[in-house]
Chains A and B, each alone.
Chain A
């Protein structure tokens, strides 16, 4: 069974802290994505990666960075967390753009105080 695992379900951080959100997939997928989900705004793409060490900005990359050193792992980094980054963060992977289907993790709910 396919699995995307996000390391933290719930985090509480203070403004200015550095935050790491980890995501691991066990399906040997090429593509990995980070979205944030906010009520009334749906899912907004932050960054995605189509290969190891490759990354592309999504629609809202400001304030975020990513790292993909290994194929199975895609990390989202908030260099200096701010209150407007309080959100649900969703990691997803897909085999390729040809197949398209995204497999999602459970989500990481981040609260920045």
Chain B
């Protein structure tokens, strides 16, 4: 069965630091990849997604992610974080032509002002 691994459970950074959150998946076929964010007290929302094409995808609020097929990875990055980026971040994957979307365990990001 497919699975998603997020390496960091809790990350603490200062404002303006650079961010990289790791995500690896287990399925060897064609996949669609997502990052979702949950700000405190809010519902989950899509940050960015990769379906095909350019492996470097850009999302909202200055986030980007790079799909590296050979490493089964889809890491999330942001060059300079802000206090408002404090949230929980979830990587998700679904196999092409499958409606089932599987999530990782999440990474809690805490930005110090």
User: What residues on B are CB-neighbors of A43 within 8 Å?
Assistant: 44, 90, 92, 103, 106
Q: Is A102 an interface residue (CB 8 A)?
A: yes
Cα of A45 to Cα of B101 in the assembled complex, Å: 8
- CB of A100 within 8 A of CB of B51, answer yes
A51 CA to B85 CA, complexed, in Å: 36
Contacting pair A40 B32 (CB below 8 A): no
B61 interface residue, CB < 8 Å from A? no
A84 on the B face (CB < 8 A): no
A42→B45 contact, CB < 8 A: no
Bound Cα distance A31, B1 (Å): 21
Q: Assess the A42–B100 pair: CB atoms within 8 A.
A: no
Q: Is the CB of B101 within 8 A of A102?
A: yes
- In the bound complex, residues from chain A placing their C-beta under 8 Å from that of B105 are 40-42
- Contacts of A31 on B, CB cut-off 8 Å? 99
Query: In the bound complex, do residue B103 and residue A42 qualify as a contact, i.e. CB atoms below 8 Å apart?
Result: yes
Instruction: Say if the beta carbon of B17 comes within 8 Å of chain A.
Output: no
Q: How far, in whole Å, are A92 and B100 apart by their CA atoms in the complex? A: 12
In this assembly, does B43 line the interface, its C-beta being within 8 Å of a C-beta of chain A? yes
B100 touches A45 (CB 8 A): yes
Q: Let me know if B43 and A104 touch, CB within 8 A.
A: yes
- If A43-B103, A48-B100 touch, does A100 touch B36 (CB 8 Å cutoff)? no
Beyond A100-B34, A100-B94, is A107–B101 a contact (Cβ under 8 Å)? no
B49: contacting residue among A100, A104, A105, CB under 8 A: A100
Q: What 1/0 flags go to A90-108 for Cβ under 8 Å of B? A: 1010101100111011110
A97 near B98 (CB under 8 angstroms)? yes
Q: Is A35 an interface residue (CB 8 A)?
A: yes
Partner of A104, one of B32, B45, B106: B45
Contacts of A107 in B (CB 8 A): 43
Spell out A's residues near B (CB within 8 Å).
31, 33, 35, 40-45, 48, 50, 56, 58-59, 90, 92, 94, 96-97, 100-102, 104-107
List the 5 closest pairs (A to B, CB-CB), nearest first: A42-B105, A43-B103, A97-B99, A104-B44, A42-B106
